[in-house]
Every structure is written in structure tokens, then in C-alpha cells.
Amino acid sequence: MKVYIIGIGLIGGSFAKDLKRDFPDWEIRGVDRNKDHLKEAEEIGIIDASAEFSRISEADLVILAIPVDASLKVLPQVLDHINENCLVIDAGSTKKELCRVVEKHANRRNFLAAHPIAGTEFSGPSAAINDLYKNKTNIICEVEKTAFKLQERAMEIFKKLGMRIRYMDPDAHDRHIAYVSHLSHISAFMLGKTVLEKEKNERDIFDLAGSGFASTVRLAKSSPAMWAPIFQQNKFNILETLDEYILNLKHFRDLIKNDQFEEVFNEMEKTNHIKDVLNGITENEKLKL
């Protein structure tokens, strides 16, 4: 089986590593616009060889792991050129636009729209790790539009990599993921910005920061090339979540300003319930499937 991975960074590279381990006789080829990344991926052995996009018709499996704006252009081209038994999976963080763009494509049935909820704040081939997807949720959109045999092949792969499957329509996916992923990134980026700006005038401020700050701001290390297109494609859902977040912050600010500290306490106590939710996340990631 010939696997073409388009975009050989954190996401694509981690797929490559697990596939190589779990299906040793599969041949993993990498395609990337960034020639340095491609060379690096070959050198550290993530891929068997680099490949040209023009030879994609020989692929049995294509994994698309590039920024979501690039996917809108590249996915139709992939579907134009694949052979009829090829399975194409994407791994992007937005699904509505992508599903729309290939809606009427003659080879729509070769495509499975997926979003593995997995990642780290690092990027590039050197960030690729084994078991990134183990015990993680993988959201599949419009599964009914993928050929049944190709669905089966995809599920076999996802199962082997240890993923838990959830089915959603692309609209609901984009709306929900705005809350539990996209908003966290914005909150972290803006927290980082606020503190960095302050540091210009107040030296050594970071000398005082501890692990709590590090945890809250961690996602501000993420790749802007990945995230700007995500915010663009999910603009309206993100604006809604962001407005609610800003409103909640303003309300909390006003409680502090007006010395309503009993209410400040209550707001925090109600939110403490997030413990149960977070334990759920941790449990899921621990669970053997």
C-alpha cells in the first residue's frame, strides 16, 4: 500500500510515524511545499521517500495535513487525480468549508472528512511523535458521503492508532470546536500578548511566572500559519464565542470594580464544576480502547 502524506509537520508526521509502526510494509511518501521540512522528514526517517504531487495517482491512501486554507485548494486537486480505490483523509480543524468545496466533486466518495482532536503546541517534522492519536477523539463528518469500503479502511486505521470515533455534521463540528479549541487558542495568545506588552516597561516580570501561567499561555506557542486560516474559516462561530468570553470577562471585571466579592466567589465556585469535565478528558485519554 502506498501512502501519500501531504504536509509532513506535527500532524502529518505523527500519522506517518504510527502508520510505519503499525503497518510496516506500507510505503510512506511525503509531499510538502517546504523542501527543508521534506528533507528533514526523510533524514529523521518519518517518511520512506519524498514524492511529487504529480504522482499522486499511484496512492492508495492520501492524508492531507496542511493549513485549512491550503486544503480548500489542494483537496479538489487530489480528488481530481487519484485512482478510484484511493482513500483521502484530511485532518483539519474546520470542516464546513472543506466539505462544501468538494460537495459536488465526482470523487467525493473517496474523501473522508476527519478531525483528530490531538496536537501539541509545536510544529514541523521534528514535532512528530508516536501515539499522538492514541486515546484521542476523532470527529468524522458526513461519513455517509464516503464509499462504504473506504470508510471501513479508514476505521481500521483509526482503530489501530487507538482513536475514539465521534460522528458529527460539519456545521455542529465547527460550532462546538470554536468553544473547546479555537477560543482557548485566542485566550492564550491574548494573555501572552498582554503580559509581553507589560514586560516592555516592567523588566523581569517573567522571572515571577510559575507553572500556572505557563499552562494557561501554552497554546500561544502554536503556529500562526496553521491558526490564522482556521480563524478565517470559522469566523462567525469564533466571533460568537469570543463575544461571550469578552462579556463574561467584563462582567467579572465589573464585579471586582464594584466590590461584589461574594459574587466573584460564586462565579468561581460555579465554574469549579469544570473539574469533573477535565477529569473526563483525562479519563478518555487514559482509557484503553
Residue choice 221, 283, 287, 289 for contact with its own copies (CB under 8 A): 221
- Closer by beta carbon to its own copies, 113 or else 219: 219
Q: Name the grid cell of 271.
A: 465554574
All cell numbers assigned to 6: 501531504
CB 113 within 8 A of CB 96: no
Nearer to its own copies, 286 or 288 (CB): 286
Over the window 117 to 146, marking each residue x when it contacts its own copies by CB under 8 A and - when it does not, the resulting string is: xxx-x--------------xx-x-------
Nearer to its own copies, 104 or 203 (CB): 203
Binding mask 182-201 for its own copies (x = CB under 8 A): -xxxxxxxxxxxxxxxx---
Binding residue for its own copies, selected from 205, 283, 287, 289, defined by CB under 8 A:
205
Given candidates 148, 224, 283, 287, which one binds its own copies under the rule CB under 8 A? 224
Closest CB to its own copies among 68 and 99?
Answer: 68
CB of 282 to its own copies, least distance (A): 7
Measured CA to CA, the distance from residue 219 to residue 216 in angstroms comes to: 8
Q: Could you tell me how many residues of this chain bind its own copies (CB under 8 A)?
A: 95
214 near its own copies (CB under 8 A): yes
Residue number with CB closer to its own copies (57 or 282): 282
Q: Sheet of 137-141: strands edge to edge?
A: 49-50, 27-31, 2-6, 61-64, 87-90, 111-116, 137-141, 164-168
Of 9, 71, 88, the C-alpha closest to 46 is 9
Q: Which of residues 2-61 bind its own copies (CB under 8 A)?
A: none
Range in contact with its own copies (rule: CB under 8 A) among 52-60, 70-78, 97-105, 236-244: 236-244
From candidates 32, 41, 265, 287, binder to its own copies by CB under 8 A: 265
The region, left, alpha or beta by phi > 0 then psi within -120 to 50, assigned to residue 62 is beta
Determine phi and psi for 236, rounding to 5 degrees: -70, -40
- Sign of the dihedral through C-alpha 185, 186, 189, 191: negative
